[in-house]
Amino acid sequence: MIIDLPDTTVSKISKALVNVRQEGGAVALGRVLTLIIATRRGVEEEAIEAANDASREHPMRVIVIMLGDQKSPPRLDAQIRVGGDAGASEVIVLHAQGPVASSHDSLLTGLLLPDAPVVAWWPAETPEVLSTSPIGRIAQRRITDASAQKDPAAWLSTLGAHYAPGSTDFAWTRITRWREQLAAVLDQPPYEPVTAVEVRGAWDSPSTALLAAWLRLKLDVDVKYEYLSHDEWAGGIKSVRLERPSGVTLLERPSPAVAVLTQPGQPTHDLAFPRRSLRECLAEELRSLDPDVLYGRVITEGLELLEPATETHG
């Protein structure tokens, strides 16, 4: 069900939510958090769809806020989505312009679930300093996506300087499977030290640098990482090469959805390694609302230990 509320107020939106709850049953019961999605027109539906899918694992209230021209006449348009149009959540979409658009606190505070944690997600453009931004100040967890920025590499280089506990980025979430697989490899015989590491990925893949920084921290060896041209590799991480006295371990994607693991003296293994969807990344980040200490170390310490990436041109 979709309810449109043109030229409205926060008070009227709250009353409409109460009416929906009374008419349709206990819609809001069982909600475990409030997710604020700060975005712009044109990209909001993809983010809402991801939140709706993730809400089946994490029932929540989703508040989508889109800010228009602050010089325009003051106006707040809203839309409430429940039931089949909202997954296991309830979605409130806010379009604000004029002076209303500059008052984040008054727009959001009255719509947050009481006594529930708040998570903020910026699917596209992002404030330079998350923790001190109007929305970031009211959120326990703050999620960005380096791959959605105009210059992912430049954006990545600023994360460490502005990091605060509770912040994270989907470029980090996307390497969870890589980290799990590489940790599993190093947990098995022959238990030899890694002497050299090489990570390769697409030219616009911030996850490549984060994986290299994680390996640099964990293994305490020099890590080389290389950005491949679009002709060589279309997107994401291509391969990780670990050198040990007994030989080379290689985890490499021959295609975007599959990885091949090659180890000395062992049969080759084909593994499912598709790029993770927005829904999967969001659901993982919502499983634990505590600060990700390891991510904080990777972007504040690990990235600084890396030598500049090399690039290929094709």
At 244-269, the pLDDT tens digits run 999 999 999 999 999 999 999 999 99
pLDDT band, very low/low/confident/very high, at 24 (cuts 50, 70, 90) = low
Q: What is the mean pLDDT of residues 169-174?
A: 97
The yes-or-no verdict on residue 28 having pLDDT over 50 is no
- Letter for the amino acid at 310? T
Instruction: Find, among 85, 86, 87, 67, the residue nearest to 77 by Cα.
Output: 67
pLDDT band at 163 (very low <50, low <70, confident <90, very high): very high
* 13: its two tokens: 């939106």
For 5-12, the CB contacts below 8 A with 24+ separation are: 5/77, 5/78, 5/79, 5/80, 6/77, 7/75, 7/76, 7/77, 8/76, 8/77, 8/78, 9/76, 10/76, 10/106, 10/107, 10/110, 10/111, 11/110
With a pLDDT cut of 70, the percent of the chain lying above it is 97
Calculate the CA 250 to chain-centre distance: 27
Q: Which amino acid is at 222?
A: D
User: b/e per residue, 214-232, with b = 16+ CB within 10 A?
Assistant: bbbbbbeeebebbbbeeee
* CA atoms of 39 and 65, how far apart (whole Å): 6
Residue 158's SS3 state is helix
CA 221 to CA 200: how far, in whole Å? 17
Mean pLDDT on 35-48: 93
Sign of torsion, CA 290 138 89 48? negative
Q: What is the pTM of this model?
A: 0.93
Chain position carrying tokens 């697409």 = 202
How far apart CA 109 and CA 138 sit, in angstroms, is 9
Pair of tokens at residue 287: 């499983």
What are the Cα distances from residue 266, in Å, to 68, 248, 295? 58, 12, 32
Average pLDDT of the segment spanning 212-220:
97
CA 124/CA 150 separation, integer angstroms: 9
* Integer angstrom CA distances of residue 290 from 61, 77, 118: 19, 34, 12
Q: How many residues does the chain have?
A: 314
